[in-house]
Chain A
Amino acid sequence: MAANLVCQVHPVVLFTIVDSYERRNEDNRRVIGTLLGTHDKGVVEVTNAFAVPHNESEDEVAADLEYAKNMFELHKKVNPSEVIVGWYSTGPDVSEHSLLIHEYYSRETKNPIHMTVDTTLRGNKMGIKAFISTQIGTPGKTVGTMFAPVQVEVTSYEPEKVGVDVIQGGKSNPKRSVYLVKDLTHVERACGMLQQKLAMVLEYAEDVLANRIPADNVVGRFLMDLVMKVPQIEPEDFEEMLNSNMKDLLMVTYLANLTRTQLALNEKLSIAL
């Protein structure tokens, strides 16, 4: 049980967990569920999750394990490479009941990860933590298990990142919604972002020049790299490249519009005849 295990979580999993928490039954204070993913030499990648109905009271806990097995089978049909890597629960702490559930999951997989997502927002943060169970105690005498924390990283595939970026846009909007925009607006937004970043860099450079901030060589070198990245081309050559590219695009756009008009004409003609 390497203590330097890293747990990589995809955003999908976090969304699923929060969603299942929001949909919990009236009397449950927390939700549990299974985590699916892949192991790979010291890195556990969690790519999917589903909730498992359970009941919890002061002294006992009951989870529907039949359901868990069933759901896992169904999920395996879609993605056979995903295996159970652990389980999650919402709520700030690890409780005694967690141990029982953890034991069950130890039977399903070698070294289950227990992830907690703090939905009660203690300390104004939604803490995402992961644990594995380790043995503690003196060997030969009382042996117990402890939940040892494991480092959590949030990773994603390329398109997932794009999706998350788009969804992030809805954070500040009072209606909490994001419209999927036309592509040109996207370019506009990216442009705006670039401008902001450039403004920050400019401000920094000016501050250094006015001796308000001590100059940092490393940052300076980065800045120089940045400026040098703009390719130094003869203006005429660049004009030519730019124009030929634009001509290509114009031609294609023209063709596309022509085709559409042709289609519309064809439609009218064939209907009229």
Chain B
Amino acid sequence: MASRRTFDSPVKYVQIDGLVVLKIIKHCQEEGTAGQDLVQGVLLGLVVDNRLEITNCFPFPRRNDDEDFDEVQYQMEMMRNLRRVNIDHLHVGWYQSTYFGGFINRALLDSQYNYQHSIEESVVLIYDPLKTTQGYLSLKAYRLTPEMMKFYGSRDQDFSSESIKAAGISFENMFTEIPVTIKNSHLVNSMLCEIDESLNEKQSFDYLDLGTSSMLEKNLRLLMESVDEVAIDANKFVNYQRQYQKQNLAKTQYLQKRQQENQQRIARGEKPLPDEDINKIFKPLQTPPRLDSLLITGQIDNYCQQIGEFSSQSFGKLFLAESLQENPPNPTAT
């Protein structure tokens, strides 16, 4: 499995306060659209040594089209208010919810690029509400690699395959995943002990559930859609190549004809025809942008990884169930 190599980034790991985790969970839960809509918010904290500490966060209201709403003003006011109560008001990133891991797209790239451009150490936290409901806290931190940053920054390029090759970008090194730890202060720990008693009675073993097919199905369906998109994109590229070849052929033919004519003319003693600008006759074809295909392949990679992880869990669970069946249960005598 291709591991996400940790490139030289100023942030080696991300440390989140328990508070932030719960706030994100609560926000995604309350927006409650079963994960289909995106839920976003801002992360606040600071950078210490080589780790990024996230100490607080606040949610972004969902874009209401009917209200005249100023996002920047909301942010500014929120940060100003939080500063009054001594909460860290430094922006260090943003968070977003995802539906089955399908978050690698143009919008995310744009936002993360903007963030990383202004604040070098920012990360995007991806939270998967559906997986968490099943029992695994799914929270991952990503950053753009330095190559990707440089590449995306030079907007004058048209993302052709040559420029991608030159920048050395493949779908594997677009994002790096940064390990996440959760840390709490002592006082919070004592509070945890307090609520441990009241909350623990309803402990559930949901994640030992054997019903795996629905999740697999959804994952696979999304995977299929992505593969379709890649196919369309590849088709476009192949068409472009074909047209390019045809055009080249036509160009060389034209040039040859021109030369012949000129020779004939010189032989007849007339002035040779002026060399016309060849580009005016044959309009240069636009190289199709390859960025989208990069993103889609990255997305497919992500889906495949998820499927792999999920299958390995299910295997474990199946073996568990098997062991229960191997020894026939003895009736207890009470």
Chain B nearest CB, measured from A260 CB (Å): 5
Report yes or no: A224 in contact with B334, Cβ–Cβ below 8 A: yes
> Across the interface, which residues of B come within 8 angstroms of A128, CB to CB?
194
Contact between chains at B18 and A15 (CB < 8 Å):
yes
Would you call A51 and B85 a contact (CB within 8 A)? yes
Q: Are B192 and A259 neighbours in the complex by a CB distance under 8 Å?
A: no
A270-B161 in contact given A154-B195, A159-B29, A209-B333 (Cβ < 8 Å): yes
A250: B residues at CB distance < 8 A: 311
- Supposing A154-B195, A249-B311 touch, asked if A263 and B86 sit within 8 A by C-beta, the answer is no
A178 at the interface (CB under 8 A from B): yes
B residues contacting the other copy or chain, number (CB 8 A): 103
User: Closest CB-CB distance, A181 to chain B, in whole Å?
Assistant: 9
Interface string of A176-192 (1 = CB under 8 A from B): 11111011101110110
- Least CB distance from A28 to B in Å reads 10
Give the Cβ gap from A53 to chain B, nearest Cβ, in Å: 5
Q: CB distance A11 to B183 under 8 Å?
A: no
Chain A residue with Cβ nearest B208: A190
Interface residues on chain A, number (Cβ under 8 Å) = 100
A1 within 8 A of B: no
Contact of B195 among A14, A48, A162 (CB under 8 A): A14
- Decide if B22 touches A160 in the complex (CB within 8 Å): yes
- For the complex, what is the distance from the CA of A81 to the CA of B286, rounded to whole Å? 51
- Asked if A126 and B325 make an inter-chain contact with CB atoms under 8 angstroms apart, the answer reads no
Q: Given the known A-B contacts A20-B85, A53-B84, A190-B205, are A180 and B185 also in contact in the complex, defined by CB atoms under 8 Å?
A: no
A74 on the B face (CB < 8 A): yes
* A65 close to B (CB within 8 Å): no
In B7-65, which residues have CB < 8 Å from any A CB? Answer: 15, 17-19, 21-23, 25-30, 55-56, 59-62
B284 at the interface (CB under 8 A from A): no
- B residues within 8 A CB of A67? 81, 84
- In the complex, the answer to whether B199 meets A154 with C-beta atoms within 8 Å is yes
CB distance from B302 to the nearest CB of A (A): 10
Q: How far is the CB of B321 from chain A (nearest CB, A)?
A: 7
Are A78 and B60 touching (Cβ within 8 A)? Answer: yes
Which residues of chain A are near B321, meaning CB under 8 Å?
242
* Chain A contact surface mostly: helix
Contact B307 A256 (CB under 8 A): yes
A24 at the interface (CB under 8 A from B): yes
Cβ contacts under 8 Å, B172 to chain A: 264
A227-257, CB under 8 A of B: which get 1 and which 0? 1101001010010001001101110110111
- With an 8 A cutoff between CB atoms, is B269 at the interface? no
The answer, among A25, A74, A126, for a CB contact under 8 Å with B194, is A126
Nearest neighbor of B67 in chain A, beta-carbon distance:
A77
Residue of A nearest to B188 (CB): A18
A156 with B199: CB separation less than 8 A? yes
From B81, B137, B195, A163 is in contact (CB under 8 Å) with B137
The proximity string for B residues 87-129 relative to A, scoring 1 for CB distances below 8 Å and 0 otherwise, is 1000000000000000000000000000000000000000001
Find out whether the CB atom of B25 lies under 8 angstroms from the CB atom of A267. no
A223 part of interface (Cβ distance < 8 Å) = yes
CB distance from A115 to the nearest CB of B (A): 13
Contact of B198 among A71, A153, A238, A248 (CB under 8 A): A153
Contact present for A242 and B322 (CB under 8 Å): yes
Whether A220 and B307, one on each chain, are in contact in the complex, defined by CB atoms closer than 8 angstroms, is no
Q: Is A4 an interface residue (CB 8 A)?
A: no
Tell me the residues in window 1-50 of chain A with beta carbons closer than 8 Å to chain B beta carbons. Answer: 10-12, 14-16, 18-25, 47-48, 50
B170–A125 contact, CB under 8 A?
no
For A163, the chain B residues whose CB sits under 8 A away are: 18, 21-22, 25, 132, 137
Stretch at the interface among B146-154, B174-182, B271-279: B174-182
Of the A-B pairs whose beta carbons lie under 8 Å apart in the complex, a sample of 21, sorted by A's number, is A12-B23, A19-B56, A20-B87, A23-B85, A125-B194, A126-B187, A157-B26, A162-B25, A176-B184, A178-B182, A180-B137, A191-B316, A193-B205, A223-B334, A227-B331, A242-B318, A253-B308, A256-B305, A260-B304, A263-B297, A263-B300
Q: Which residues of A contact B (CB under 8 A)?
A: 10-12, 14-16, 18-25, 47-48, 50-53, 64, 67, 70-71, 74, 77-79, 117, 119, 121, 125-126, 128, 153-154, 156-168, 170-171, 175-180, 182-184, 186-188, 190-191, 193-194, 205, 208-209, 215, 217, 220, 223-224, 227-228, 230, 233, 235, 238, 242, 245-246, 248-250, 252-253, 255-257, 259-260, 263-264, 266-267, 270-271
| A-binding residues in B (CB < 8 A) | 2, 15, 17-19, 21-23, 25-30, 55-56, 59-62, 69, 74, 77-78, 81, 84-87, 129, 132-133, 135-137, 139, 161, 164-165, 170-172, 179-196, 198-199, 202-205, 207-208, 212-213, 216, 220, 223, 227, 297, 300-301, 303-305, 307-318, 320-322, 324-325, 329-334
